[in-house]
Amino acid sequence: MNKSIVTAVLVLFCCGLRAQSLNVERPGSGSIPSLKEVFRDDFLIGAALNMSEVEERDPAVSALIASQFNTLTPENNMKAAFLHPGWDRYDFVQADEVVGFAMRHHMKVNGHCLIWHSQLPAYMRGMQDADSVRRYFTDHITTVAGRYDGKVYSWDVVNEALNEDGTLRKSIFQRSLGDNYIVEAFRLAQKAAPHTQLYYNDYNIERGSKREGAVALVKKIQAAGVRIDGVGIQGHWSAGRVPLEDIEKSIQEFAALGVKVMFTELDLSVLPSPRGHGGADVSDRAAYEDQLNPYVNGLPDSVQAVLAQSYAQLFGLFMKYRDKIGRVTFWGVDDGQSWLNGFPVRGRTNYPLLFDRQLRPKPAFYKVIGTAERAGVM
């Protein structure tokens, strides 16, 4: 056989192997590409998991998660209300299960989250005594970050500390400990978890004054000589209205600070927003109205196409900046268990993710895969 034929045969063989490794079998549905494989050289691909997923109650869901994602964020079970239910009492059972799931499936864990004004334990809500807040703050970070050092890859050390105008939210921590509490949180986390990546995480920080506030916050932490490894942009946006220009600017500005940029809670709502709503403050609530819930019997093709197009634009941007982006995590696996069916209006039927209620990949999934192909990855 002459040399060029041998080379051609080898190339074809290797391409075949590569293509094979990018496609995974999922029970009940032929083979589909794998997000984590397709973006393997670009960024981590994650999903937020609830306890039913972590406890592997449905083997089809487990198989889908293991084949598509290489990192997970517990949707709720590492939040303080779950981990630290009594003043002197921690309950690590579920958080340990999260770590166990990740080990079984060779996934990284992003711990979410150490310091946040929401989903606090009952005894902390409305706590006025500054000394008690300080004791809680120090003990919580030291105990939790210390226990999981080396077991989780990263922590969202502080979540949602900024107001929309870029000033600091007057949270229980800000009121009791002063503006410096964020630097202190990172300092304590750094000490307790020297092997763990440490992130600041928030929604709408891609925009205007809130972005400026986030940049200032990172600079303040760095100026204090404290480690911060990344910024997480949550990414709760709406299909057809993704703020691409702001997102691009924020990737550039955060990356220029020398930290990794992450998209940590990605989902694109297809439902109308109730008047005055625009963010991901979990305490926001709006009353149910039928016109806010138009797709109870399925998503029309035209809306499906808008969703797919928005995801394609977003991942096109992520690929352009793949050297600056550490991870892209979806806030859920399939549409059926997305928090957006209940937020900010209870009882709606939303379609914000890449897999439908039967775990089938949606047109948006293939568009996302296509952005990697166009960038020449496959």
The residues annotated as belonging to the active site are 160, 265
Q: Rounded to 5 degrees, what are φ and ψ at 57?
A: -70, -25
Q: Does 168 bind ligand XIL (CB under 6 A)?
A: no
CB of 329 to ligand XIL, least distance (A): 11
Q: Does 233 bind ligand XIL (CB under 6 A)?
A: no
Q: Does 53 bind ligand XIL (CB under 6 A)?
A: no
Name the closest residue to ligand XIL (Cβ): 339
The encoded tokens of residue 268 equal: 């694109």
Burial class from Cβ neighbours inside 10 Å (0-12, 13-18, 19+) for residue 84 reads buried
Burial class from Cβ neighbours inside 10 Å (0-12, 13-18, 19+) for residue 331 reads buried
Q: Does 159 bind ligand XIL (CB under 6 A)?
A: yes
Question: Considering beta carbons, is residue 265 or 334 the nearer one to ligand XIL?
Answer: 265
| CA gap 111, 98 in Å, rounded | 10
The residue within the footprint of ligand XIL, chosen from 40, 55, 76, 208 (CB under 6 A), is 76
Binders of ligand XIL among 277-316, rule CB under 6 A? 280, 282
**Could you tell me if 270 and 350 are in contact, meaning their C-beta atoms sit under 8 angstroms apart?**
yes
CB of 209 to ligand XIL, least distance (A): 20
Q: Does 51 bind ligand XIL (CB under 6 A)?
A: no
Binders of ligand XIL among 108-137, rule CB under 6 A? none
CB of 280 to ligand XIL, least distance (A): 4
| CA gap 241, 130 in Å, rounded | 42
354 Cβ neighbours under 8 A, 6+ residues apart? 35, 311, 330, 361, 362, 364, 365, 368
| CA gap 169, 161 in Å, rounded | 5
CB of 75 to ligand XIL, least distance (A): 5
The footprint of ligand XIL (CB under 6 A) covers 75-76, 159, 234, 265, 280, 282, 339
